[in-house]
Amino acid sequence: MTRKGPTPVLRIGAGMWRGRKLLPPPGTGTRPMTGFAKKSLFGILAPRMDGAVVLDLYSGSGTLGLEALSHGAKRCCFAELSRPVIARLKRNIELCGAEEMSVVWTGDLEKKLAGWLSELGQQVDIAFIDPPFPAVRKWDWDRMVEKIFNPLTAALAEDGVAVLRLPGDTTPPEILGQLTKQQTREYGDMTISFYGLVVGSL
Tell me, letter by letter, the H, E, C secondary structure of 128-186.
Answer: EECCCHHHHCCCCHHHHHHHHHHHHHHHEEEEEEEEEEEECCCCCCCEECCEEEEEEEE
Mean pLDDT (the chain, rounded): 91
pTM comes to 0.92
Task: Report the pLDDT value the prediction gives residue 70, as an integer from 0 to 100.
Answer: 97
The average pLDDT across 153-158 equals 96
Residue 200 has pLDDT above 80, yes or no: no
The superfamily (CATH) of domain 10-196 is Vaccinia Virus protein VP39 (3.40.50.150)
pLDDT digits (tens, 9 = 90+) for 93-125: 999 999 999 999 999 999 999 999 999 999 999
The average pLDDT across 169-192 equals 95
